[in-house]
Homo-oligomer: A and B are copies of this chain.
Amino acid sequence: MAVISALREPVLVIHGGAGTIDPATMTPEKERAYRDALSDSLRAGQQVLNAGGTAIDAVIGAVVSLEDCPLFNAGRGAVFTSDGRNELDASIMDGATRAAGAVAGVTCIRNPIRAAHAVMTRSRHVMLIGPGAEAFAAEQGLEAVEPAYFYTPERWAQLERARAEGRIEIDHDGATRAATDEKKFGTVGAVALDGHGNLAAATSTGGVTNKQWGRVGDSPIIGAGTWADNATCAVSGTGLGEAFMRCCAAHEVAALMKYKGLSLDAAVNEVATITVPANHGTGGLIAVDAAGHVSMRFSTTGMYRGVARGSVEPELAIYRD
């Protein structure tokens, strides 16, 4: 048995999406609901880490908690496509081995992050899509749900508005959205350093409201929305997926550390506030490195986020400092 006290202090960082989050339209009740949900997610992952669990199990625990919460655009709270369906994407990566798993375009899996993990650990593949991914998840005994599970009145109203306005809504990108409360919804993710010194990252999303054509963003793409490598860091992104894909955002953070010698925070700040905007997008990134440094940077007005170190009370934030 590992002696927990001899291990390094574990760290968990989560995000619930970045975007135009306006204090003026946030009621105390709503803010409380978001804070409670972020806190629940952090405690779920923290519990795993403090029991000597792995970074992989911690990010799964934290992301499953956010997927099961209707407030976030992942799992239960996924937004609707143009034909009134929900297509979910997720990915996960193990920094110790660089093993990775992802699913995209799945419609009936309760927790896509568990499916991504099953791809990583129980197949020889990294990415499965569509009905094939669902068949694999069923073979692995993962919980399937009826499409109605993903129905939430708020998301349906969001689709109706988007249809009426003939637009799609990408994460929290204010430029493409009306001034309504859907600005506060978003992709979720978690990164962790465990007591054994291993890193892991996980990202899960419900995509974009009113999307057509089987669009896939950065969340299920290893290197764009998710990256983990013990040699550098674990990263999860949220924002305009297309911009993150065009600059390989998560892997770019690792490359800036490994080859340019930047600190974690300098690398995350460069990609989140310079590289992604230069590729015509906005959003944010969370990351942790093998020394336990944490960075949470974004080019939007806010990002739902939080950090839990060791057994210390988690810290939460929504707006800029």
Contacts and interface: CB of A to CB of B under 8 A. Distances in A.
A242 B125 contact: yes
A124 B242 contact: yes
A215 interface: yes
A127 B279 contact: no
Q: How large is the interface on A (under 10, 10 to 19, 20 to 34, 35 or more residues)?
A: 35 or more
A218 to B, nearest CB: 8
Given A224-B222, A245-B100, A246-B98, A216 B128 contact: yes
Contact of A128 (B124, B133, B213, B246): B213
A105 interface: yes
A245 B126 contact: yes
A214 B260 contact: no
A198 to B, nearest CB: 16
A132 interface: yes
A304 to B, nearest CB: 25
A135 B130 CA distance: 15
| Copies of this chain held together in the complex | 2
A252 B123 CA distance: 25
B245 A248 contact: no
B246 A248 contact: no
Given A105-B130, A259-B260, A246 B222 contact: yes
A105 B127 contact: no
A241 interface: yes
Contacts of A259: 255-256, 258-260
Nearest to A247: B98
A99 interface: yes
A317 to B, nearest CB: 30
